[in-house]
Amino acid sequence: MNNKDYKIFSPFGPSIYKVKIPKNLQDELNKYVEEVIKNKKKIKELDLGKDLAGNVNQEIKLEENYMTKIGWDKFLARSVGNWINAYNGKKISSFKLVSSWIVRQFKNEYNPTHWHGGHVSGVGYLKVPKKFGDTFQKSKTNFNGYLQLIHGSKMFLCNSTLEIKPEVGDFYFFPNYLMHTVFPFTDTDEERRSVSFNAYIDAKIYDVYGNKK
């Protein structure tokens, strides 16, 4: 990954880092999901729905040995390291992946406003429906199926939300505390498939108030 492969932006305060998931990792993760959902024992074993916020069809934990095998953990660690270094010039020496999981979302399902644990989090897209359905009032902006990032409150010259249209391969990294939600969509039986994670980095880098010695 070189310096041209990312974008850093701060629409309302927190830094957000956008990269592309390598095609081989997209293919591996989709293959993994297709295999797991065919195995009733496995899908039950890896079900994370009860521990997560989403009101969605399935949320599937990625197994540690599989993430290591395909290099998913390395992709996350490298991306976070590049993000932190590009933003403040600091180099992380610790990246502890807490968990990573797949979210399978279908029509009328949604993810309510929530935030994550750890220090850094993110979400990327593996499958996206060709259409998300229309708004009930045709004049309204259509955010069906979009990710919405939320921070603070609306003020003069300062928005409090950012709406992101999911695109296959896009991955967004953000601080764990950044609130976010996913809107429901309609008029399609296609799946919206995303992948998320939580991780810890160096406490001294995360703790900007200097409480960690």
pLDDT tens for each residue of 133-172: 988 888 889 999 999 999 998 899 889 999 999 999 999 9
Give domain status of residue 69, yes or no: yes
pLDDT for position 53 = 81
Q: In this structure, what DSSP letter does residue 158 have?
A: B
Q: φ and ψ at 99, to 5 degrees?
A: -165, 160
On whether residue 193 sits in a domain, the answer given is yes
pTM of the model: 0.93
pLDDT value of residue 157: 85
Does any domain span residue 154? no
Q: Indicate whether 150 belongs to any domain.
A: no
Assess if residue 88 is contained within a domain: yes
Domain span holding position 106:
14-131+167-177+185-203
- CA angle at residue 170 from 64 to 70, to 5 degrees? 25
The stretches in the chain having pLDDT less than 50 are 1-3
Question: What pLDDT does residue 55 have?
Answer: 85
pLDDT at site 3: 46
Which tokens hold the place of 13?
A: 């305060």
pLDDT in tens, 44-56: 999 888 887 888 8
Tokens of 46: 């890896």
Residue 8 lies in a domain: no
How many CB atoms within 10 Å of residue 209? 5
Element (H, E) at 43: helix 40-45
CATH of the domain at 44: 2.60.120.620
pLDDT at 1: 43
Domain count, the chain: 1
pLDDT in the model for residue 90: 96
- 192-201 and 95-105: which strand pairing? antiparallel
Report the alpha-carbon distance of residue 60 to residue 45 in Å, rounded.
9
- Residue 119, domain member (yes or no): yes
Q: Is residue 211 part of a domain?
A: no
